Amino acid sequence: MAGILSVVERAYHGTIEEQDDTILWVSHMLKNAGADLSVLLRSNAVNYAVKGQDASGLSIGGVELSVPPRLDDDVIALANSGAPVYVVAEDLADRGISADDLCDGVQTVSRADLASLFDDHDAIWHW
Amino acid sequence: MTTSGDKTITIALMDPPYESGTTTTALRIVDAALRKGINVNVFAYEGAVNMTMKAQAPHPNPVKGTSIEEQDHPSTARFIAGLFELSQSGPALDWINCGLCVDERGAGDWIEGPRRGGPGDLFKMSQASTNTLIIGTR
């Protein structure tokens, strides 16, 4: 049985000011600290797995955001660190996101299979 | 209170920095309004008073292995300082931090520009504005 399943559903909350998503970030930190951890992206957070996002060009009061968030790269890096990253298939379909739109390394899971996915983990952390 | 110029917008903001998209959106609206010649009043309520705290500091990103310099993290205080600088050459920016909210958070050390006030100021600013935008916490 796997360890922790971290569920992320709030999306793009503070990502500009933080230059990343706080839960993807802390998940990666926990993985680096030795946690056996998976991440489930659901609801609006499935958009984090869409490749080619570009949040560059923002300037406020003449202060430029020279290092914008790159959430698709963060998802890829998380998956490459050994943390499985799942996205809910129906949430993708609801938003018109196809499999071709997704970055490498993510795995789709249907809503019907979520209970099994939860059962496969010791703990569910719903952020 | 800002009353000069043709148009004035008042924005009430409630979310703290770094936790919501609303703060970024509000700052973008302030920037756009000032650049269009519109005076801006901001009433920072509850957690939003933390947006102007002087002690905000950039940090490295240990996940990406980037240094403070490489990450170049602009704090909300830096953004807002930039907005005050922008207002020096055009329409006015008046930023009021709710005093009681400041006290309960110990958030009184802020950058140059904002001033202390209370809910009555929001009412007065709203009365003197072309429109008021309330951005509450959800």
A63-64 and A59-60 as β-strands: parallel, antiparallel, unpaired?
antiparallel
DSSP B15: P
Q: How far is B125 from chain A (nearest CA, A)?
A: 22
Q: What is the pLDDT of residues A9-42, one digit of tens each?
A: 999 999 999 999 999 999 999 999 999 999 999 9
pLDDT at A2: 82
- Alpha carbon A7 to its chain's center: 9
From first to last of its 127 residues, what are the pLDDT tens digits of chain A? 789 999 999 999 999 999 999 999 999 999 999 999 999 999 999 999 999 999 999 999 999 999 999 999 999 999 999 999 999 999 999 999 999 999 999 999 999 999 999 999 999 999 9
- Residue B132: which of B2, B70, B35, B42 has the closest Cα? B42
Chain B residues with beta carbon closer than 8 angstroms to that of A18: 18
Smallest Cβ–Cβ distance between A62 and the set B19, B61, B85 belongs to B85
Q: How far is A7 from chain B (nearest CA, A)?
A: 17
From first to last of its 138 residues, what are the pLDDT tens digits of chain B? 444 458 999 999 999 999 999 999 999 999 999 999 999 999 999 999 999 999 999 999 999 999 999 999 999 999 999 999 999 988 999 999 999 999 999 999 999 999 999 999 999 999 999 999 999 998
Residues of A with CB under 8 A from a CB of B: 12-20, 22, 25, 28-29, 32, 58-67, 74, 77
Q: Cα–Cα distance between B39 and B32 in angstroms, integer? A: 11
User: What distance, in Å, lies between the first and last C-alpha atoms of chain B?
Assistant: 28
pLDDT at B5: 57
